[in-house]
């Protein structure tokens, strides 16, 4: 009987192990090895650090890298500010059908692909789009306004794309918040800001951290939204990775860039967990 249970356990464990091993661990190991390959001739490589030195010595590469990190953090913060009141209303104010409808409204945009959603924003923000027409109709602009191909357009598209991934963990975290704790905060003389800062936010911190991790990862690794809404001025690091792999066929350099982006994301997530005092496993369980 014990042997049968052990066999059943390993059979159940085998699919996720194969999934993670073949689609996550093995590709990343191969990318890491490839990133240290220097081309010395046709189909001839040697171990070296030339790909990383090229990153450090070319200003375009490391400036784009730093810009991607800063803008990804900014997008994550803006998404949190926008999503928090929405999540609080869904978790503590909405009831019954209205709660389900609000969740559906958050989910509805994701029935279309990222490419379609981004093209929709391009139609709205272009010079002849709806936003430009409204600005002219209200007298805020004397002529057509081109709102595409700048940082603002990229941020709008990325925040829109990450909103659901911030709302869901926040709702899960805020659902367990007892209203009596909020009432007690007011009874003790706390203002709305005090109650928010000392009661609501600490309780929602696992959801905040979980949502921020997901949104940051998706933002830093985004390609379609940054490329289409930012245009040639987008300067997103994933575009550099794409250029090395697809345009220049320089796979070792592209692998080095990909590994650097992974290290950046991991480092910022680790710093965020340390600053908030949250554990990764505990955060994922509670959110």
Show the domains of the chain with their CATH numbers: 50-286 (1.10.3720.10)
DSSP codes, 172-202: HHHTT--HHHHHHHHHTT--HHHHIIIIIHH
Q: Is the pTM of this model over 0.75?
A: yes
142: exposed, middle or buried (Cβ count in 10 Å: 0-12, 13-18, 19+): exposed
In whole angstroms, what is the distance from residue 61 CA to residue 274 CA? 28
% of the chain surpassing 70 pLDDT: 93
Per-residue pLDDT, averaged over 130-147, amounts to 86
The winner for highest mean pLDDT among 58-62, 125-129, 275-279 is 58-62
Nearest of 55, 53, 49, 23 to residue 36 by alpha carbon = 49
CA distances from 265 to 49, 238, 262 (A): 21, 13, 5
pLDDT the model gives residue 286: 54
3-state SS class at 238: helix
* Torsion-angle region of 149 (φ positive above 0: left; ψ -120 to 50: alpha; else: beta): left
Number of helices followed by number of strands (H, E) in the chain: 15, 2
User: Residue 95: is its pLDDT beyond 90?
Assistant: no
Q: Average the pLDDT over 162-181 and give the result.
A: 90
Quick one: which of 64, 283, 36, 86 has its CA closest to 173? 283
Angle of helix 151-174 versus helix 96-107 axis, rounded to 10: 150
Which pair of structure tokens corresponds to residue 136?
A: 């002219």
Tell me what the pLDDT averaged over the chain comes to.
87
Eight-state DSSP code of residue 92:
I
Determine the average pLDDT of the residues in 226-231.
90
Bridge partners (DSSP) listed for residue 45: 39
**Separation between Cα atoms, residue 34 and residue 45, nearest integer Å:** 10
CA distance 221 to 161: 12
Mean pLDDT along residues 108-132 = 89
pLDDT tens profile 3-47? 667 677 777 888 888 888 888 888 888 899 999 988 776 666 788
**pLDDT reading at 126 higher than 80:** yes
Q: What is the mean pLDDT of residues 244-260?
A: 92
Locate 241 and state its tokens.
Answer: 């990775």
pLDDT at 189: 84
């Amino acid at each position: 009987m014990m042997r049968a249970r052990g066999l059943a356990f390993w059979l159940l464990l085998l699919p996720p192990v194969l999934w993670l091993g073949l689609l996550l661990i093995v590709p990343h190991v191969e990318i890491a090895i490839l990133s240290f390959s220097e081309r010395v001739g046709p189909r001839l490589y040697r171990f070296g650090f030339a790909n990383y030195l090229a990153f450090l010595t070319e200003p375009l590469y490391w400036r784009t890298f730093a810009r991607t990190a800063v803008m990804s953090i900014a997008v994550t913060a803006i998404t949190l500010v926008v999503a928090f009141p929405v999540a609080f209303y869904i978790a503590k104010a909405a009831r019954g059908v209205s709660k389900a409808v609000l969740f559906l409204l958050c989910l509805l945009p994701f029935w279309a692909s990222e490419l379609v959603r981004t093209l929709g924003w391009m139609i709205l923000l272009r010079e002849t789009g709806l936003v430009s027409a409204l600005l002219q109709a209200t007298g805020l602009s004397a002529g057509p306004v081109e709102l595409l191909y700048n940082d603002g357009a990229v941020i709008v598209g990325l925040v829109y794309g990450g909103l659901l991934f911030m709302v869901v963990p926040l709702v899960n975290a805020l659902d367990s918040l007892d209203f009596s704790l909020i009432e007690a905060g007011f009874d003790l003389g706390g203002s709305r800001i005090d109650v928010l800062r000392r009661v609501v936010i600490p309780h929602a911190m696992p959801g905040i951290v979980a949502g921020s991790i997901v949104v940051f990862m998706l933002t830093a690794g985004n390609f379609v939204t940054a490329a289409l809404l930012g245009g040639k001025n987008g300067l997103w690091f994933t575009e550099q990775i794409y250029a090395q792999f697809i345009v220049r066929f320089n796979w070792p350099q592209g692998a080095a860039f990909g590994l650097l982006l992974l290290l950046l994301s991991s480092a910022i997530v680790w710093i965020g967990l340390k600053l908030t005092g949250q554990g990764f496993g505990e955060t994922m369980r509670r959110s």
